[in-house]
């Protein structure tokens, strides 16, 4: 089954109208309300989208949203189309497609709603949607937001409803909008009822009149309700004239001007029933003026009533306020006392905070100063260690040099072994045994043949009597004094000397005492 449709606001022109067709697949009629899971249609008939066909325009969108409210967890998107198959399906009837989250949910909606009566004894006709074909598809919303709540149109979280004018909203937002015009283009679905009249012969309607080059008016027979068209004067050859020739129904009313034409009298009828005096009927323009005045009066009356209601509400509030003044004053006094207590507590806390901040600042300064001093102390310690290592190395080098020179001096001062043996071999005479050593030169024994004559001893090396500094010429009686002087002055050029070291008087500086110990 194929159903043609149109969308868009006709008031915006033919460029905003979009046409297409919907291919429907009817489900088995045996599908019951409670066993829809066991009586599912064939696999090729199952679809996740169902459609309400032939819905009167006065039921959209509010009644449709109310009808599908129990299935809001299953429905993802609702779209409204206008039928475009007059006279069987005129634009006053709509087709509503319902996109569900699954085929099971679509089958459930079909089983619950198909063939039921909603309002005014109107039975709902439903079918599964097989395919939707567009001749010219409308563009999606540029920002993808609902103009009512300014939230995103996401079918994962909200039911999106698209009206017959191709504008999308949240179904809940548009349901609260009631039957008001579209918030974007002011299109009113109920206005389709005024387009319900189509020529029964050529299916000419209001949209075709606006787009046609030849101006044709629609006329409705007052007797039987037959709709026919005419170009200008209905008395001339036209479809409504053909109806008069066939049925002799003499009166027809114009859809646009609401004037009645009398085919038998060949003129317009201003009053069908006369009570003796002829009264001219008011034209359509005057009728519109009266309607405007009535509307203006209604708005003025409504505003004045609202203002008077505010006055009465203020009086009632003032009267009710007098009863609770005492309790309110007591409550205000309690609140003021509580505020003062809180202010005192806040002042104490503020002082504590200031003291804590000052202590923290002082500790930060001390910490930074200590960090700087620690760095300086570390640098001084490193310098002292370096100087100590250098002094130790210099002292070791000086000690080795002095030890070498001392060994040389000791070797020079040592008595030759042979001479010592000779001295040890001379024994005192029997006369002088037990007595002191005589200073008399011993008597020489006459050499005999065969005696070994030792060569004369070599002259003894000069004996070192002091330690001399080469650079300064200063004499030191002992090696310890020379080492102390070297440690103090850093001198390393010392040698043994045969000069006699004359003791000097003690120095005034107590630090030099170590050199003369």
- In the chain, % helix, strand, coil (3-state, to 5) comes to 40, 15, 40
Residue whose entry in the numeric block shows the structure tokens 């006055």: 311
pLDDT band at 75 (very low <50, low <70, confident <90, very high): very high
C-alpha to C-alpha distance for 385 and 390, rounded to whole angstroms = 9
Classified as helix, coil or strand, 279 is coil
**Domain boundary assignment for the chain:** 2-193, 206-272, 462-517
- What pLDDT score was predicted for residue 285? 58
Of the ranges 11-15, 119-123, 503-507, which is most confident? 11-15
Give the helix/strand (H/E) hosting 289.
helix 284-323
Taken in order 116, 118, 123, 127, is the CA torsion positive or negative?
negative
Place of tokens 């249609």: 41
Cα 457 from chain centre: 112
Quote the distance between the C-alpha of residue 101 and its chain's center. Answer: 30
E strand intervals along 263-393: 267-269
Q: What is the pLDDT of residues 449-474, one digit of tens each?
A: 555 555 555 555 555 667 888 878 78
Is the pLDDT at 44 greater than 80, yes or no? no
Token pair belonging to 133? 């074909």
CA 279 to chain centre: 75
CA angle in degrees (0–180, nearest 5) for 96-190-21? 35
pLDDT band (50, 70, 90) for residue 432? very low
C-alpha to C-alpha distances, 165 to 16, 80, 117, nearest whole angstrom = 9, 9, 27
Angle of the 284-323 helix axis to the 325-413 helix axis, nearest 10: 70
How far apart are alpha carbons 512 and 476 in whole angstroms? 13
What distance, in Å, lies between the first and last C-alpha atoms of the chain? 135
CATH class of 2-193: alpha beta
Average pLDDT in the chain:
76
The answer to whether 5 and 97 are in contact (CB under 8 A) is: no
**Closest C-alpha among 137, 138, 136, 161 to residue 148:** 161
* pLDDT-based confidence at residue 401 (cuts at 50, 70, 90): confident
Tell me the pLDDT band of 287, cut-offs 50, 70 and 90: low
Q: What residues does 252 pair with on adjacent strands?
A: 221, 261
The pair of structure tokens assigned to 315 is 């009086």
Residue 351: the pLDDT is: 93
Q: Which of 22-31, 241-250, 301-310, 473-482 has the lowest mean pLDDT?
A: 22-31
CATH superfamily of 206-272: Zinc/RING finger domain, C3HC4 (zinc finger) (3.30.40.10)
Please check the confidence at residue 338 and state whether its pLDDT lies above 90: yes
Shared fold status for 2-193 and 206-272:
no
Indicate the SS3 state at residue 480. helix
CA distance linking residue 87 with residue 326, whole number of Å? 74
Nearest to residue 163, comparing CAs of 150, 151, 173, 152? 173
The rounded distance, in Å, linking the Cα atoms of 142 and 302 is 39
| pLDDT at residue 9 is higher than 70 | yes
- How confident is the model over 464-517, as pLDDT tens digits? 667 888 878 788 877 778 878 887 787 777 787 777 776 665 555 555 455 444
Q: In sequence order, which residues have a C-beta less than 8 Å from that of residue 212 and are 6 or more positions away?
A: 204
pLDDT at 297: 83
Smallest CA-to-CA distance from 261 within 246, 278, 240, 291 is with: 240
Position with higher pLDDT, 516 vs 259 = 259
Q: What is the 3-state secondary structure (H, E, C) of 373-387?
A: HHHHHHHHHHHHHHH
- pLDDT of residue 210 exceeding 60, the answer is no
């Amino acid at each position: 089954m194929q159903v043609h449709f149109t969308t868009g606001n006709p008031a915006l022109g033919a460029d905003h109208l979009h046409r297409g067709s919907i291919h429907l697949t009817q489900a088995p009629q045996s599908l019951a309300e409670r066993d829809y899971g066991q009586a599912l249609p064939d696999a090729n008939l199952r679809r996740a989208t169902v459609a309400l066909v032939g819905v009167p325009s006065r039921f959209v969108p509010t009644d449709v949203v109310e009808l599908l409210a129990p299935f809001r967890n299953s429905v993802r998107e609702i779209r409204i189309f206008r039928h475009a198959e007059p006279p069987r399906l005129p634009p006053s009837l709509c087709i509503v497609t319902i996109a569900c989250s699954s085929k099971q949910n679509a089958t459930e909606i079909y089983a619950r709603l198909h063939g039921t009566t909603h309002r005014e004894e109107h039975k709902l006709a439903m079918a599964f949607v097989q395919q939707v074909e567009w001749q010219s598809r409308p563009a999606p919303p540029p920002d993808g937001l609902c103009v009512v709540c300014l939230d995103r149109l996401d079918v994962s979280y909200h039911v999106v409803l698209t009206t017959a004018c191709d504008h999308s909203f949240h179904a809940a937002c548009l349901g609260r909008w009631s039957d008001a015009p579209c918030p974007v283009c002011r299109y009113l679905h109920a206005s389709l009822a005024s387009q319900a009249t189509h020529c029964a012969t050529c299916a000419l309607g209001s949209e075709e009149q606006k787009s046609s080059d030849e101006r044709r008016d629609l006329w409705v027979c007052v007797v039987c309700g037959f709709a026919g068209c005419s170009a200008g004067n209905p008395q001339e050859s036209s479809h409504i004239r053909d109806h008069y020739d066939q049925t002799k129904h003499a009166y027809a009313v114009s859809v646009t001007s609401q004037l009645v034409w009398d085919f038998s009298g060949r003129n317009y009828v201003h009053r069908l029933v006369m009570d003796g005096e002829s009264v001219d009927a008011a034209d359509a323009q005057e009728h519109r003026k009266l309607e405007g005045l009535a509307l203006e009066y209604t708005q003025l009356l409504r505003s004045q009533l609202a203002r008077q209601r505010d006055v009465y509400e203020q009086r009632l509030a003032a009267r009710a306020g007098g009863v609770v003044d005492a309790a309110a004053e007591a409550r205000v006094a309690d609140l003021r006392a509580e505020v003062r207590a809180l202010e005192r507590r806040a002042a104490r806390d503020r002082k504590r905070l200031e003291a804590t901040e000052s202590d923290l600042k002082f500790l930060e300064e001390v910490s930074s100063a200590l960090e700087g001093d620690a760095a300086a102390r570390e640098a001084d310690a490193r310098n002292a260690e370096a100087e100590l290592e250098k002094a130790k190395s210099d002292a070791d080098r000086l000690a080795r040099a002095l030890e070498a020179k001392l060994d040389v001096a000791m070797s020079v001062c040592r008595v030759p072994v042979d001479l010592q043996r000779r001295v040890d071999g001379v024994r005192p005479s029997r006369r002088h045994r037990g007595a002191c050593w005589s200073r008399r030169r011993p008597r020489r024994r006459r050499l005999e043949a065969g005696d070994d004559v030792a060569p004369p001893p070599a002259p003894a090396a000069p004996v070192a009597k002091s330690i001399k500094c080469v650079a300064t010429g200063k004499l030191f009686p002992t090696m310890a004094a020379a080492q102390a002087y070297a440690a103090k002055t850093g001198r390393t050029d010392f040698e043994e000397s045969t000069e006699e070291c004359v003791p000097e008087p003690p120095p005034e500086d107590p630090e030099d005492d170590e050199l003369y110990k």
